[in-house]
Every structure is written in structure tokens, then in C-alpha cells.
Amino acid sequence: MSAPNYEPLAHDEPQQESSSAFRAQDFGDAYVKPHTYYGEGPFDAPSSDEEDELLEKSPSSPQAAERNGSALVEEGPLRIGGKQRPASVRILVIGLIALVGTAAVIGFLAAQSYAGTAFRIRGTQRITMDHVFNGTFYAQRQGVLWVPEAGDGVFAKSEGGNITLVDLKTNFTRTLVAFEDVKNERGFRLNWADWKLSSDMRYILIKSDYAKQWRHSSFGNYYVHDLETQTTFPLTTPSHPPVTAYATWSPTGESIAYVLGNDLYVVPSPSPSATPIRVTTSGNASLFHGVPDWVYEEEVFSADFALWWSPDSSKVAYLRFDETAVEEYTFPVYNPSENSHAVVPYPGHVTMKYPKPGYNNPLVTLHVFDLEEYLKDEDEEDEHEEPEDGNEDEDEDEGSDRIAEASLTLTWDGRQPADNSIIAEVAWVGNSTLLIKEVTRAADNGSIVFFDLNSEDADLGRIVRKLGAAGEQGDNGWIDSEQRIYPIPDAAIPYGSSAYLDIVPTPAGYNHIALFSPANSSTPRFLTDGEWEVTAGILAVDTNRSLVYFQAANPSSVERRIYAVPLPGSASAEMVEPTALTESEGPAYYEADFSPEAGYYVLSYLGPDIPWQQIVQVDDEDFDYVLTENPRLNDTLSQYEMPIVAHSTIDSDGYELNVVEIRPPRMDDSGRTKYPVLFRVYGGPGSQMVNVKYGHDWQDFLASSLQYIVVIVDGRGTGFKGRQLRNPVKDNLGYYETIDQINAAKIWAAKDYVDPHRIGIWGWSYGGFMSSKVIEAGAGIHSLAMAVAPVTSWRLYDSIYTERYMNLPDANPAGYVTASISNVTAFKDVDFLLAHGSGDDNVHFANSAHLLDMFTHDHVRNFRFRMFTDSDHSIVRRGAYRELFEFMTEFLVEKWGKGGKRRS
């Protein structure tokens, strides 16, 4: 960027007078330590008997096993003061016990039929850790790969060593290709990682020799297989390790765009002798063309490409990322093998460009290569004779000139300075019309820019929509990062003009579908409205029926249903209420994957009951194609004691928050038994953990086998309930979310069946940050916390994510202090577990190292720490994932024991 100039912040030096990881003088007078608790004075938990005994006894009879603590177990005559009760009193007591027993039976039956429970008590077996990790409760789910080149309603599947095509219209299946027929240049079968068909279905582009890079990106050797001649040839010279980062067909024709050595190439037609067009020549380790750098891959596009063909395949738009000024981050690789016993005398390392808040971001520019123009110029040239000696350079110069003449660098009036610009979206809305979304680093100001590449000023765009506080958002929150622009096909364009759909917040702050027609329009025309949100963008547009399909968090924010709404037939047409395609008597969670022309869709029911999938034909109710039903799960679940799951809401400072409580089977909620409560938290901006999807994981093990209560609360900042719930955390991550978690813990601590001395919290990533913030607050209610791969200082995380929610450190210095872990005094009063992978490229291990340094400085010693060698953010390397949960389970049992406590 040119202005403002973000100078690198000074490196932190150890300070004796402060437990903060960075110097107070870096922030001037704005530096303050956060208060240790955000509530009103210390929390005084209700007392439970200190002499309570652990309920971990073996049942004395089958009947007792069935009750499992839901009723008192009588062991001989009931005595008070050593005297036996009179007969009349005994009769009274027996009568009372009978009433209690009857009430227990009624309560049990009510629990069985309670409409708010997603899972019910079924069998008698306890869930073990093996069941959690060996797939015992796994619900099979099948993806469908639609093949638009073969027509609507055709999908591919792999079976019997072949890729076959299933045509739902004709109910006919045919073999597309046999794996054994596709071999590399040495005659060996390819190791397929991915494949794509050309638009004419003659060629298959195959990715082989997969080599993972980051979360979404990888390298591979690409091959083209000719289905007519049954021949295979490499797209580029194969290498080991592979170096081609991405390749894709044009939507029409037979052109291929690919990225090799961070340069963009285009092959107009595939053949072993084809000469690729090298569109860019400056690619290197810091300069990317057509593929994103790490931070754009992770935080903007969630994809491994940054190039987009125009609908008619005449042009390719691509982004150029210049990371030259981005600082490097290096982490060690102690053991590159899968052998945990390997001794590596000299560890390797990974060095990556990783921009942090306030430091240099990659500089991004937008370019268009006009393939059609390039080929036309090439055809118009006279055929040349073989070049004489010394003329090769001249031919190369002529080729470079043609590429330059066919290339555009796009810009626009009102563009943000380069160092304050995030290109968040690129979308073709016609063969020669293009939209881009640009936002500032703080995501509080932005624009939608329109380009007409057929105009005289083809390289100069025009801002057609304003985003941010003075634009469509109209508040002090952030501009959402998702790419939601959906061009409307020509056949369905409303009232005769180019158009597209986007997801835009209404004036009330709920994300809804808006139509922009023509495509350079500045005014959204909302197709949906209400106090609910469209959640997954536009699923499909049916041009034959002029319908738009979408998923929404409706009728409640924890559910998902599929809807259709018509495109308006005229500029004066009124808004029409959406039609639900999924009907359920109770709560439900659906997803849908539509065929290319929206004539069919895969309907996936994901909960709360056992998931199933079927393919639906939109105009034929009798069409029946079942993908998955998971019948075995009915038998499996019937054998196990499943937790009871209840959804509800709580109030926190006037905000309604979604909550789910996972209870032990046959839990005694009379108040005589006190259960530990472990809160699970994530809480990141726009996220959601409370929903009605099917799933049985470690939380189920804790409830079923350890007899713990698990509670999940989606606090302020989380998604799908409107911007009024999300916006409060802007510039202040961790503050209001911490208040919400503490308020929820207070509510549960006051319940009769909860042991207020055994309330804890755990989370991973942002959830690890949240569990640490809750302890830092020093509310006195949590006695235990576990943080996995936590962010501990937002100055250590990446720039694009952090600045979107926190602004830049120079603009919000106090916010960066209060939003990070900077006061560890309260950690002395709890049992704390910390775990992190040393090879985490996302939330660097430096975050945990920073927290450990503060522990050392402030003499915090009552914690448990585990580093998982070479594991990344998912902690899976060399068996680490299961071991992590065993580690946490052991910690919980050591500190809390198993089960509830019964009053003496």
C-alpha cells in the first residue's frame, strides 16, 4: 500500500513489569490491561456437599442398572438416629417411594418422547472411545458428481475399476473410462486424485501424484486422456515432486488453463504436440498468477485457484499476488516420516509468507487475457519460413507482444490504495462483463466494480455498489467475506437485461437474496425478506421455470430447509413468498445439490434423526432414487445408551442465544445428584455450533460413559441470527463472547442437578481462544478449562482474518490488548490443559509458546501441556488425533472423576 504506510511493529522484548507479551509503550497511552472479570463482582457459586460421594458404583441388580441412578437404591431399613421408624411412618415412606418411582417412570417415558431431544435412550451399552473413533455411529453419505457435459440429470460414479455415467432421464448407465486404460508415459496406471471432462466429452483431464500443500491447495502431474483414441499424454512434463498447482478446462471448447511455477499458461487445444501460451513470465516463489497465496487461500477464496474463464471461453480473468514484501514465518519439521521412532539429527523446516496484523499484505491486481483476440492475431499473421539463425529471440518478442496486446490490467476510479485493498470476489456476469468486490483491510468499506470489456475503456471499471457503513451494510459491522454473486443464465434473465443475484443484508440486518438487473445496477431488489437468513448462497437457477433455489436457516436458526422463489417477470412484480421444498413435522436440517440445469437435486437429510439421501426430480413426485438410508444405524443405536439432547435459548444481556444441552442417559435431575458440566465452545464470527444435525462424537462419550453434562452456547458474534447478533464483537473479539459464556455458566451452576464446583470449558482454535478468555476473566465459576491450538494474541494470527474483525493494530491498539490473553493471574485458580501441534501453519505454535512464557513469568504451574510433534492445525500426524482426546479424557477424569455426586 502507499498510504497509510504500515511499518513493521517492534519485536517484543521480555518485560518484568508486565505479563503482556508485547510492550506497553508500543501502544502509547492507550495500553491497558483488561479487567479480570466482566461481571458484577465475584461469582459465589451455590454450595454442594463437600462430602458428596462419586456415583461410580456398579449396579447391584438388572433393575438398578436400568434405573442407573434415576431412583434411590434402598440398602436395608431407613433409620434416623439409630431408631427404626414406626409402622405408620414406614407405610408413609413406602407410599412416598412408590410415588417417586411412579414419577420416575413418567419422567422416563416423557424423556423418551420429548420433542426437543435429538437423541433418545435406546439400549444399555455405554459408548466408549473406540466407538467414537472407529465409525460405529458414522452415517454414510454419498456425494454426486454431476456431469454437465453429458446433459442435465447425469452423474458419474466410480465402481468396479471404471468411471460410469448414470443418466437419470433414461435410467441408463454406461462406462466412461476404465482406470486400467489410463497409463502414464512409462506404461503404469495413473494414481488418480481428480478428473474433469472437456465440454465435448472427448477428453479427460486427470490429476495424478497428489502432493498436499496447504488446506485447499496441492500439486499434481496432469494428464489428458483421449476417449476416442484411448491415448494418454502429459499436459506438462511430469516431475517428482509435482509442480503444477492447478489446471482446468474452459467451459466451452477444448482449452486448458493451468498454473506451473506460479505462471499462467493456456493450451488452446489438447494434443501431445500443442504449444502452450505462456500468459505470464514473472512467476516465482513470491509472485503468483492464477493461484492464491497462503492468506488468500485460507481467508478469502477457500480454494486453490484464482482464475476464471468467461462463459464463452474467450477470456481468462486472473489475479496476480505479489508477496515480495510479506514477512516470512518459519516452523520446524522434526520428523518428516510416519515413523514415530525415527531419529532425525537435523530437523528440516517450512518457510512461508504469512502476513500478520499491521504488516505488509500481498499486493493484488486483476488481469484479463483475451484468448480469442490472441488466436485471431496469430491467424492473421503471415506464415513465416523457418527462422534464420539469431531470429528465435525476435519470434519470442513477437509472441510476447501478441500476449501483451491481448492482455488487460484492470483498474477503477476510487480504488483503495494497493496496501489497503482486499480483492474478495471476481465473477463474470456475461461474456464480456465482469464484477469484482474490493474491501479495505478492516472490511468496513468496500465496492462492487463493473467492467465492460467491449467498451472503449475496457480496462477501467465503474463502482456500481457501495459496501460498508455508508453502503449496503449500513452499520458498524464487517463486510462478509463469502463469494455469493450468481450470474443469471441468458434464458432466465428478467425483463430483458443482464442480471445477477447476490446475498445482501436487508435494512433489518438479515442476509437475503437480491436481484441486480441490469448487471451494472446499484439498487438491490430483494427476492426474500424476513427475520431469518439465506445461508449457503444461491444453490441453482432453473431457467425453464424461472425459479431460484436456496437454503435458509428457517423456521429457526438451528435448522436448514430448501426453498424456491420465482424470478420477477417484470420490474413491477411484487415479492413472492418462498416455497419450501422440504417439509418436516419437527426440526430438520437439509442440504441440496442441484444438477446443472436444476432439473434434479440430491436432497440430504442430515438430522436430527438418522440421515438419508435421495435424488429428487423437480417435476415428478413419483421419481424415486435413494442414495443412502443408513438402515444399520437403527440397529446400532438401539444397542447403546444415547445421550438426551435438548435445545433451548437463554438470555444474555438482552440477546437471545441458542443452546444445546447433552445430558447423560437416565440422568437424575431431581437435584439429589450433582453432575459436572463441560461447556464446549467455538464462537468465531459468523460460526454456528448449535444446530440439529445428526452426530455422535466425543461429547456423547462424555455424557454416556463419564456421566457429564455437555453444554454448547452460540454467543454474540455467531451466525445466522442477523447482523445485530454478529456486530457487537467488531473491534473487540473475545469480550462479549466471554460475557455470554460466563452468563451461561452461571445459569447452569444454579440448576439443582449441577455441581457448581465442577464447571469447565473447552475449545479448539477460536474455541481454544475462547476457553482461555473465559479463564482470564476470573469469574470464579469455571474450575477447569482446555484449550487446543488457541490464538492467544491476535497480533500472532494472519492479517486478513484478524483485521476484518479487529481493524489494524495502529487503529485499535487497546482492542488488540483486551482481545488477547494478556493477564494470566486467574489461571492459577483453575486446572488448565493446553495442546498444540508444532507444525500448525494456521494458528502458529508461537501462540501457545507465548502463553507458556506468560505462565512462567507469573508463576502459573497448575496446568498440563502437550505438544503434538509436526501436527498441523488438525492435529492428526502419527496418531495424534485419538491421542489428543485420550489426553483430555484422562485430564478430566483425574480432576473431576466420573459421574455425578450424590448428596449424603
Distance CA 709, CA 676 (A): 6
Q: Identify whether 542 is part of a domain.
A: no
257 has pLDDT over 50: yes
pLDDT at position 899 is: 86
What's the alpha-carbon Rg for the chain, to the nearest Å? 31
- Residues 615-628 have pLDDT tens digits of 999 989 999 999 99
Residue 404 CB: number of other CB atoms within 10 A? 9
Residue 103 lies in a domain: no
Alpha-carbon distance of 828 to 577, in angstroms, equals 56
* pLDDT higher than threshold 90 for residue 451: yes
**What pLDDT is recorded for position 33?**
40
pLDDT at 137 over 70: yes
- Cα–Cα distance for residue pair 837/843, rounded to 1 Å: 9
Identify the helix (H) or strand (E) that includes residue 400: helix 392-405
How much is the mean pLDDT over the chain?
A: 87
Q: Taking Cα atoms as reference points, which of 794, 776, 653, 784 lies closest to residue 725?
A: 653
Angle between helices 371-380 and 392-405 (to 10 degrees): 140
Q: In Å, how far are 134, 613, 629, 635 from 632, measured between CA atoms?
A: 15, 15, 9, 5
3-state secondary structure of 378: helix
Are 761 and 743 in contact, with CB atoms under 8 Å apart? no
Global pTM value:
0.85
For residues 405-429, average pLDDT = 97
Better-predicted residue by pLDDT, 50 or 463: 463
Residue 389: what pLDDT? 56
- Which pLDDT band, with edges at 50, 70 and 90, does 28 fall under? very low
Task: Report yes or no: 111 and 119 within 8 Å, Cβ to Cβ.
Answer: no
> Which pLDDT band, with edges at 50, 70 and 90, does 68 fall under?
very low
281-302 pLDDT tens trace: 999 999 999 999 999 999 999 9
Which cell is 64 given?
A: 438398578
Query: Catalytic residues, which ones?
Result: 765, 840, 873
737 DSSP assignment = H
DSSP at 480: P
Q: Where are the alpha helices (DSSP H) in 9-137?
A: 62-67, 87-113, 129-133
Predicted pLDDT at 388: 53
Does the pLDDT of residue 436 top 80, yes or no? yes
Instruction: Reply yes or no on whether the pLDDT at 279 is more than 80.
Output: yes
| Per-residue pLDDT reduced to its tens digit, 544-560 | 999 999 999 999 999 99
Res 321 pLDDT > 90 = yes
Quote the number of domains for the chain: 1
Q: Is the peptide bond before 14 cis (omega within 30 degrees of 0)?
A: no
Give mean pLDDT, residues 523-536: 96
Arithmetic mean of pLDDT, 160-185: 92
Helix (H) / strand (E) element for 701: namely helix 698-704
Contact 718, 687 (CB under 8 A): yes
CB 828 within 8 A of CB 777: no
Q: How many CB atoms lie within 10 A of CB 553?
A: 23
- Show the domain range for 775: 642-902
Please indicate, yes or no, if residue 116 is contained in any of the structural domains. Answer: no
Whether 790 contacts 768, CB under 8 Å = yes
Q: Any idea of the CA torsion for 747, 749, 750, 751, to the nearest 10 degrees?
A: 90
* Residue 873 is assigned to a structural domain of this protein: yes
pLDDT, tens digit (0-9, with 9 covering 90-100), for 810-822: 999 999 999 999 9
Give the percent of the chain with pLDDT over 70.
84
Rounded CA separation 307/292 (Å):
9
What's the grid cell of residue 301? 477464496
The cell for 300 is 478469502
Nearest Cα neighbor of 362 from 330, 327, 331 is: 327
The cell numbers describing 500, all together, are: 445477477
- In this prediction, residue 904 has a pLDDT band, given cuts at 50, 70 and 90, of low
CATH number of the CATH domain containing 647? 3.40.50.1820
- The answer to whether residue 713 sits within a structural domain is yes
Domain membership flag for residue 735? yes
Q: Give 181-208 as a DSSP string.
A: G-B-TTSPBP-EEEEEE-TTSSEEEEEE
- Per-residue model confidence (pLDDT) at position 396: 65
Which three three-digit cell numbers place residue 747? Answer: 445459569
786 lies in some domain = yes
Euclidean distance between CA atoms 306 and 234, whole angstroms: 23
Separation between Cα atoms, residue 396 and residue 51, nearest integer Å = 87
CA distance 732 to 815: 6
In three-state secondary structure terms, 616 is strand
CA 609 to chain centre: 23
Q: What percent of the chain has pLDDT over 90?
A: 78
**Is the preceding omega at residue 4 within 30 degrees of 0, hence cis?**
yes
CA–CA separation, 175 and 165 (whole Å): 6
Count CB atoms within 10 A of the CB of residue 42.
Answer: 12
Q: Is residue 182 part of a domain?
A: no
Query: How far from the centroid of its chain's Cα atoms is residue 762's Cα?
Result: 19
Q: Which pLDDT belongs to residue 47?
A: 39
